Chain A
Amino acid sequence: MWNLLQIELFKIFRKPRTYLAFAIIAAFIFLIQLGLLVNGKDWMKFMMGSLDEMMDIEYSKLVNGYAVCFFVLNLLLVHVPILVALVAGDIVSGEASMGTLRLLATKPVSRTQIIMAKYFAIAAYVFALLVWIAVISLVVSLAVFGVNDLVVAKEKYYLQIESADILWRYFSAFGFAFIAMMVVAAISLLLSTLSENSIGPIVATVGIIILCTLISEMEIPIYQKYIKPWLFTTYMLGWKGFFYIGADADNQTIKGSVENFPAILRSIAALLAYIVVLVSASIYFFRKKDILS
């Protein structure tokens, strides 16, 4: 299995397309950082709205490395699935359209092993992608904008998290994002096993994400009650929960706490269940597939 995984990783990281995602992410984050470096205080003033008139806010402290990273993640983690689909959607169907799948399937390894190796290879790619995001959005932002407390908006109020209580939340958020992205990868993998060309699974994955996100966002009772609980997109943004700090009876934030940790665990469980079902389905269909390409 380790041998197969090495081969799959070799193939992924020798493809120019793989690095496209890293380049897009770098360009996107640098643009945000540049914008906030120039107009960060004005932007933060706009974000604080009426609060600005009631309080004396030190904007130079609010626009710090943690805040920039939080802003980047809010914007970026919605779009990273597209970059994941770009590689995962191609992983089986790309081989089918290239003709290499038939050679691969005549080797003395089982089809289950092939699918598992491919999924683990995508996991390594997603992990590398998130480490890349973390390095650029967190490390670079902290170096450029400095360290300070993080203020997070939640519905009609703001939460302030001490700078010493933030880093572990980012690690946890990235860990959660990894699981969420692996659901997207599993959808792409399943579609990839069913298709003979690369474009179809990539477009279909993006389409499914858009559709599910739209349904998740619509506040229509029937959707909220019967459909939303079954959509993976309902759980994908659960990483934000790590930044909703718990508070005591006097409304004082409790260091190291999370407001609703069980909700985060439920989201993780739901996402893991999606992964198990989708990867099992991929294995089932791939084992049954007649390779005619």
Chain B
Amino acid sequence: MSTIISASNLSKQFKEVTAVNDLSFTVNEGDVYGFLGQNGAGKSTTIRMLLTLVKPTTGAIHIFKKNLYTHRSEILKQVGAVIEKPDLYKYLSAFDNLAIFAKMSGMKPGKRLLLDQLQMVGLEERAFSKVKTFSQGMKQRLGIAVALIHNPSLIVLDEPTNGLDPQGIADMRNLILKLSREMGKTILVSSHLLSEIELIANRMLIIHKGKKMVEGNVAELLDPSKSLIQIDTLNNDEAREKLKHSKWNSFLQIETKGIHLKMNKDEVPQLISDLVTMQVQVLSVNSTHSLEDYFLSLTTQPGHVESFTN
């Protein structure tokens, strides 16, 4: 499976604010790659760097194994994107908007192709209506049509369910799954809605305050037999040192604060027994296994887990 996106040590500094801090990740061919984070975590800035809207302060981006900044035009021909809300020319019709962006992508689209594309997103009856008369959901669907008109291999969707009603969210989810499973597209989708990512992504990255918290397979992260055990003791540094020199070392996660172990839940009693034997004074033991709990456990503390699945 080839790598589609490879981002290495990306950072973006806006005056005194570090929006993205030393972020590295890879997206493989055929992935639906969930990009998770709270509002202001740095998701949109990262996506804008992938689309050349924002220039990284440091770091490198390779897409389709080519340097994004030296092969920009060549790469962007194969990329479709909806960035935050799909803002289009309100004074033009859906058809005209689609035609403009198709031409900008290097196409010479015929009327039939454009109408077929609008039909695919359920807008054929409103093809010649001005966008200013559209609901948020219709604009979002038109944005998707614009992103897909040139048949890109990589689709980047930044918060695609923002502002949509439940039916719109379900439609968007189904469309993403269809694009991935039936058309073999590689999709990078950002969201702060973890439940959405759980349903569509096969791999994911959690970003918090511009830093990578975790990257891995969603299935593994959600594996009920593999829980993340969080231990709080009277002296965490000492406890971590003791665990490092025990049989539990291989389960220990790399952290700057707190103690986390990735392990089967049924091994927890043995862990507690061993901790008592090692004279560690345990205050609490918690296990999390839903993605949401995991996400919250990471983003509500300053800890930094480099890799959960490795």
A residues with a Cβ closer than 8 A to B are: 3-4, 6-7, 10-11, 14-16, 98-100, 102-110, 288, 290-292
Are B104 and A4 in contact, CB atoms less than 8 angstroms apart? yes
Are A105 and B104 in contact, CB atoms less than 8 angstroms apart? no
Are A106 and B54 in contact, CB atoms less than 8 angstroms apart? no
B residues with a Cβ closer than 8 A to A are: 14, 48, 51-55, 72-77, 79, 81, 83, 85-92, 96, 100-101, 103-106, 146
Q: How far is the CA of A16 from the CA of B132 in the complex (A)?
A: 14
Are B73 and A109 in contact, CB atoms less than 8 angstroms apart? yes
Are B76 and A102 in contact, CB atoms less than 8 angstroms apart? no
**A103 contacts which of B14, B87, B91, B92 (Cβ < 8 Å)?**
B87
Interface centre among B48, B73, B74, B100 (most CB of A within 10 A): B100
Chain B residues with CB under 8 A of A104: 104
Chain B residues with CB under 8 A of A102: 48, 51, 53, 83, 87
**A98 contacts which of B52, B73, B83, B90 (Cβ < 8 Å)?**
B90
Are B104 and A7 in contact, CB atoms less than 8 angstroms apart? yes
Chain B residues with CB under 8 A of A105: 51-53
Nearest-neighbor residue (CB-CB) of A290 within chain B: B54
**A106 contacts which of B14, B79, B87, B106 (Cβ < 8 Å)?**
B79
Are B81 and A106 in contact, CB atoms less than 8 angstroms apart? yes
Distance from A211 Cβ to chain B, minimum over Cβ atoms (Å): 30
Contact A99:B87 (CB < 8 A) given known A106-B76, A107-B76, A290-B55: yes
Q: How far is the CA of A252 from the CA of B68 in the complex (A)?
A: 69
Chain A residues with CB under 8 A of B83: 102-103, 106
Distance from A236 Cβ to chain B, minimum over Cβ atoms (Å): 32
Are A7 and B74 in contact, CB atoms less than 8 angstroms apart? no
**B53 contacts which of A14, A15, A98, A290 (Cβ < 8 Å)?**
A290
Chain A residues with CB under 8 A of B53: 102, 105-106, 290-292
Distance from A154 Cβ to chain B, minimum over Cβ atoms (Å): 47
Chain B residues with CB under 8 A of A291: 48, 53-54
Are A99 and B85 in contact, CB atoms less than 8 angstroms apart? yes
Q: How far is the CA of A56 from the CA of B77 in the complex (A)?
A: 75
Are B87 and A98 in contact, CB atoms less than 8 angstroms apart? yes
Are A108 and B100 in contact, CB atoms less than 8 angstroms apart? no
Nearest-neighbor residue (CB-CB) of A15 within chain B: B91
Distance from B156 Cβ to chain A, minimum over Cβ atoms (Å): 9
Chain A residues with CB under 8 A of B87: 98-100, 102-103
Distance from A215 Cβ to chain B, minimum over Cβ atoms (Å): 35
Are A107 and B101 in contact, CB atoms less than 8 angstroms apart? yes
Contact A7:B103 (CB < 8 A) given known A102-B83, A292-B48: yes
**B89 contacts which of A98, A290, A292 (Cβ < 8 Å)?**
A98
